[in-house]
Amino acid sequence: MRRFRQLALGLVLFSMAGHSWGDCIEGDCFNGQGKETYIFFGKVYEGDFKDGQRTGKGKYTWASGDVYECDFKDGLITGQGKYTWANGAVYEGDFKDGQRNGQGKYASASGNVYEGAFKDGARTGKGKYTWTSGNVYEGDFKGGKRTGKGKYTWASGNVYEGDFKAGQITGKGKYTWTKGAVYEGDFKDGKRTGKGKYTWASGDTYEGDFKDGQRTGQGKYTWASGSVEEGVFQDNKYLGTAASVERTRKGNVLR
């Protein structure tokens, strides 16, 4: 994310620079093809010019070794482009006014890949993120984070589908394990918290309150055999019916 912010700032400043901050060292830097160096940035632009502005196809090389090849319009980075970092990371897609806006693909140096929508330089809208581990997220993004509706599939085959907030599994959703267990209900920060139903592969079910991933609060546990425990649970343990727990609580208070 830090590299994305640096890229966005650099591209905006470069777009603002226009023709006036560059020194033409080769060709026609007014109407034609030329090469400019930028003293303020210490970088180089090679490509098309029109009326003294970068307009058309061009290549911009940063002092760090990063390279940007793209469309320009009236001095602004706008259109299709490709940004290659010196470390091997690559972004290819749409730009507008110096920032990633529209559809694009980003491949990190480590091999992780995001393909989808961008807004003002950040992953925003519908997209797909694939990790080298084999994990995949497909759904909504906002400000570079998983936010909204989405589906996360682990390399193991486990699947979560539902709400996300600021990169965390938070809200309503369904988690399915490869071995057959299913939980459907509320989540908070990646843990089962709130109301939900957990079904084991064996056919046993629990429906009720959860807290930090544990059966805690009011709930009902039904075995596949038909046996039932209904009442109060604490950290996955059945404490008894609501009435019996209340009597025990009152008895402890009176002692």
Q: What is the CATH number of the domain that holds 210?
A: 2.60.450.20
The model's confidence at residue 252, banded by pLDDT at 50, 70 and 90, is: low
Q: Across residues 216-227, what is the average pLDDT?
A: 97
> Which domain does 156 fall in, by range?
62-254
Token representation of residue 255? 């002692």
Compute the mean pLDDT over every residue in the chain, rounded to the nearest whole number.
Answer: 89
Within a domain: residue 5? Answer: no
Report how far apart, in Å, the C-alpha atoms of 144 and of each of 39, 42, 89, 122, 140 are.
Answer: 33, 30, 17, 5, 10
Residue 35 is assigned to a structural domain of this protein: no
225 domain residue, yes or no: yes
Kindly state the average pLDDT of the residues 95-112: 94
Bridge-based pairing of strands 145-153 and 76-84 is unpaired
- Give the total number of structural domains in the chain: 1
Q: Has residue 246 got a pLDDT over 80?
A: no
Position 243 in a domain = yes
Q: C-alpha distances in angstroms, 139 versus 3, 18, 71, 242?
A: 23, 38, 29, 41
Residue 40 lies in a domain: no
Provide the b/e sequence for 26-45 (b: ≥16 CB within 10 Å): eeebeeeebbbebeebebbb
Residue 229 covered by a domain? yes
Alpha helices in the chain (DSSP H): 2-17, 242-254
What does pTM read for this prediction? 0.84
pLDDT in tens, 162-172: 999 999 999 99
pLDDT at 109: 96
Better-scored residue on pLDDT, 6 or 242: 242
Q: What is the pLDDT of residue 186?
A: 98
Neighbours of 21 (CB within 10 A): 15
Question: What is the mean predicted confidence (pLDDT) over 194-220?
Answer: 98
pLDDT in the model for residue 13: 42
The answer to the question of residue 10 being in a domain is no
The band of 9, judged by pLDDT with boundaries at 50, 70 and 90, is very low
The answer, yes or no, to whether residue 18 has pLDDT greater than 50, is no
In a domain, 244, yes or no: yes
User: By the 8 A CB rule, do 43 and 32 touch?
Assistant: no
- The pLDDT value recorded for residue 73 is 86
- Residue of 61 and 15 predicted with greater confidence: 61
Q: Does the structure show a pLDDT above 60 at 129?
A: yes
